[in-house]
């Protein structure tokens, strides 16, 4: 269509002023961004250990054995090479560090966290823990892990040096994706990965309707909730059946198109010729109905099951022990599930599982990455309610390492394991204890983070 007027229209003054204002704002923003420091942790990863290091006059807590007073520990090539008394010989050129009786512990292991995937939960752009939709087995926490997270040095300052970084399901989700075991130091996720793909994570819907949360709800509303739960559980079963059919089809004809979702499920299913699946499945289940469903679901599909949550695990402890299902207790400092439960029900849970012979470990509750540093205090809570000192320490070191399949490298001070450990001035399960030195693979890390920087800043305030 030919324009009615061939002459150009004058630009309105208001539009001109807006364009000028936008241009000025963009220029100011570019200038601010170019003058800002990089948004990364202030510490620089040290190079690999080059010279041997001998720790002298230390109180060693191997976890897997008795405490050793006035002991020595030799670190070489990032690993523990020798453990002995005060006269343990050092190789030529080794550096010696006199600890003056300080306590040496293996680094704590957090068994289920969102570290590296979530920075500030209220800021969406800093959170990458969940995909949309109910079925996301192909999601991988490894490649989303942020090695520059400000929470990593904070967590290391609490003695937590290894963590399982796991995806979460969306509010209506079921299969969240695959987790990775990460050491909490390194330049990038490739450097930090200990087990790049550990387990598939599944979150079950709530199966026990709490009338206190739905006061006066009509029966029709409750029936809708039940139908929704049944539909989601059916969808979960159908996904695993579809993955099995996909695996059979691909085995019979490799030219079949690849489906990344079902491909990601194959490692958790039994091999075609029978045997144990390559990877476990971690099912997030707290109440009794969820745990029973998880046990039946794992038996039906031949899965290697790990439970996380586990508030009601003591109620079926005999079944868990008989089937060899470990439990990651997802925090003790939370409310009991039921009104008629005693207030210390969760505090006593580790002691109950330990007495029943169930494999377990203690995790920090809520998967809140900012509080993973408080993991040892969860074990301290259990120690105050029946768990022995040795068991409490193992519950956050050796036991999670065993459940995560890295106990050949971490979890205790033993010859041949990685020298990932810390030095403290007392019992690290006590809040008053100071962690003075941290080593990851024999490299000593500087204990600086955003919180220590703010502390030092305000100590100088006049």
Q: What is the pLDDT of residues 374-421, one digit of tens each?
A: 999 999 999 999 999 999 999 999 999 999 999 999 999 999 999 999
Query: Domain range for residue 163?
Result: 108-410
In a domain, 249, yes or no: yes
Instruction: Tell me the per-residue pLDDT of 309-330, one tens digit each, with 9 for 90 and over.
Output: 999 999 999 999 999 999 999 9
* Domain stops at, among 366, 387, 410: 410
Q: What percent of the chain has pLDDT over 70?
A: 88
Same-domain pairing of 262 and 130: yes
Please, are residues 242 and 226 in contact by the beta-carbon 8 Å criterion?
Answer: no
pLDDT at 305 over 70: yes
- Burial class, 294, CB count within 10 angstroms (exposed 0-12 / middle 13-18 / buried 19+): buried
Evaluate if residue 17 carries a pLDDT over 80. no
Q: Are residues 258 and 381 in the same domain?
A: yes
pLDDT value at position 37? 41
Please check whether residues 453 and 345 belong to one and the same domain.
no
Query: Do residues 426 and 296 share a domain?
Result: no
Model pTM score: 0.87
Mean pLDDT of 255-283: 92
Above 50 in pLDDT, residue 36? no
Confidence at residue 41, expressed as pLDDT on a 0 to 100 scale? 52
In a domain, 24, yes or no: no
At residue 433, the pLDDT reads 97
Taking the CA atoms of residue 160, residue 166, residue 168 and residue 169 in that order, the dihedral angle to the nearest 10 degrees is -150
The closest alpha carbon to 59, from 85, 82, 78, 80, belongs to 85
Helix 219-252 to helix 288-301 angle (10° resolution) is: 20
In the predicted structure, residue 123 carries a pLDDT above the cut 90: no
State which of 410, 430, 450 marks the end of a domain.
Answer: 410
Give the pLDDT of residue 1.
43
Check: CB of residue 181 under 8 Å from CB of residue 157: no
Q: What is the DSSP string of 57-124?
A: EEEE--SSS--EEEEEEEEETTEEEEEE-TTPPPPTT-EEEE-TT-EEEEPEEEEEE-TTTBS-TT-G
Report how far residue 266's alpha carbon sits from residue 316's, in angstroms, rounded to the nearest whole number.
Answer: 29
Is there a single domain that holds both residue 235 and residue 309? yes
Q: What is the pLDDT of residue 335?
A: 87
**pLDDT of the residue at 18:** 47
Q: Are residues 194 and 143 in the same domain?
A: yes
Tokens 């049944």 identify what position? Answer: 230
Examine residue 18 and state whether it is found in any structural domain, yes or no. Answer: no
Is residue 400 in a domain? yes
Residue 366 lies in a domain: yes
Please indicate, yes or no, if residue 26 is contained in any of the structural domains. no
Instruction: Quote the number of domains for the chain.
Output: 2
Q: Is 310 helix (H, G, I), strand (E, B) or coil?
A: coil
For residue 244, tell me if it sits in a domain. yes
Q: Which secondary structure element, helix H or strand E, spans residue 437, and what is its range? A: strand 435-440
Tell me, yes or no, whether 439 and 331 share the same domain.
no
Whether residues 402 and 274 share a domain: the answer is yes
What DSSP designation does 409 have? T
Residue 213 half-sphere exposure toward CB, CA atoms < 13 A: 10
Cβ atoms 82, 33 nearer than 8 A: no
For residues 117-124, give the mean pLDDT.
Answer: 81
Mean pLDDT computed over 241-248 = 94
At 416, which CATH number? 2.30.40.10
The CA distance from 320 to 298, in Å, is: 12
Q: Which of 186, 192, 191 is nearest to 165 (CA)?
A: 192
Which of 372, 393, 410 is a domain's end point? 410
Residues 138 and 210 in one domain: yes
CATH number at residue 207: 3.20.20.140
On whether residue 28 sits in a domain, the answer given is no
Phi, psi (degrees; rounded to nearest 5) at 156 = -60, -35
Report whether pLDDT(154) > 80. Answer: yes
Q: Judge if 303 and 429 occupy the same domain.
A: no
The overall average pLDDT reported for the chain is 88
Q: Span 183-193, mean pLDDT?
A: 95
State the pLDDT at residue 217.
60
Residue-wise pLDDT for 223-244, tens only, equals 787 888 898 999 999 999 999 9
Burial of 22 (0-12, 13-18, 19+ CB in 10 A): exposed
Q: Are residues 48 and 118 in the same domain?
A: no
Q: How confident is the model at residue 209 (pLDDT cuts 50, 70, 90)?
A: low
**C-alpha triplet 129, 236, 163: angle, nearest 5°:** 30
Separation CA 406–CA 404 (nearest Å): 6
pLDDT of res. 146: 93
Whether 306 contacts 225, CB under 8 Å: no
Residues 392 and 317 in one domain: yes
């Amino acid at each position: 269509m030919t324009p009615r007027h061939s002459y150009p229209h004058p630009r309105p003054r208001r539009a001109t002023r807006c364009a000028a204002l936008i241009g000025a704002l963009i220029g100011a923003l570019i200038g601010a961004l170019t003058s800002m420091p990089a948004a990364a942790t202030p510490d620089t990863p040290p190079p690999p250990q080059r010279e041997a290091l001998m720790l002298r006059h230390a109180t060693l807590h191997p976890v897997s054995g008795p405490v050793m007073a006035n002991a020595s520990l030799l670190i070489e090539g990032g690993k523990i090479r020798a453990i002995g008394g005060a006269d343990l010989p050092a190789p030529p050129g080794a550096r010696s560090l006199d600890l003056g009786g300080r306590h040496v512990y293996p680094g704590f292991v957090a068994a289920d966290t969102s570290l590296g995937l979530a920075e500030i939960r209220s800021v969406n752009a800093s959170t990458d823990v969940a995909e949309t939709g109910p079925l996301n087995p192909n999601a991988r926490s490894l490649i989303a892990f942020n090695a520059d997270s400000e929470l990593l040095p904070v967590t290391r300052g609490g003695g937590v040096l290894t963590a399982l970084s796991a995806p979460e399901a969306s509010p209506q989700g079921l299969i969240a994706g695959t987790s990775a075991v990460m050491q909490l130091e390194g330049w990038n996720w490739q450097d930090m990965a200990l087990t790049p793909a550990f387990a598939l994570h599944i979150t079950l819907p709530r199966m026990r309707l709490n009338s206190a949360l739905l006061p006066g709800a009509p029966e029709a509303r409750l029936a809708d909730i039940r139908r929704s739960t049944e539909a989601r559980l059916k969808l979960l079963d159908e996904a695993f059946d579809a993955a099995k059919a996909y695996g059979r089809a691909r085995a019979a004809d490799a030219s079949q198109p690849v489906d990344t979702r079902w491909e990601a499920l194959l490692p958790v299913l039994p091999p075609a010729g029978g045997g144990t699946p390559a990877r476990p499945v971690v099912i997030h289940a707290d109440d009794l109905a969820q745990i029973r469903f998880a046990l039946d679901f794992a038996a039906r599909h031949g899965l290697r099951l790990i439970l996380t949550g586990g508030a009601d695990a003591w109620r079926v402890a005999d079944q868990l022990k008989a089937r060899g299902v470990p439990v990651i207790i997802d925090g003790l400092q939370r409310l009991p599930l039921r009104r008629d439960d005693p207030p210390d029900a969760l505090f006593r849970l580790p002691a109950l599982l330990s007495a029943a012979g169930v494999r377990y470990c203690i995790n920090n509750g809520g998967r809140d990455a900012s509080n993973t540093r408080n993991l040892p205090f969860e074990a301290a809570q259990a120690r105050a309610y029946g768990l022995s000192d040795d068991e409490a320490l193992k519950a956050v070191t050796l036991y999670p390492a065993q459940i995560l399949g890295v106990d050949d490298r971490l979890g205790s001070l033993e010859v041949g394991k990685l020298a990932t450990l810390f030095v403290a001035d007392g019992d690290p399960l006590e809040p008053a204890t100071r962690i003075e030195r941290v080593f990851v693979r024999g490299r000593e890390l500087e204990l600086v983070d955003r919180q220590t920087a703010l502390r030092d800043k305000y100590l100088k305030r006049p």
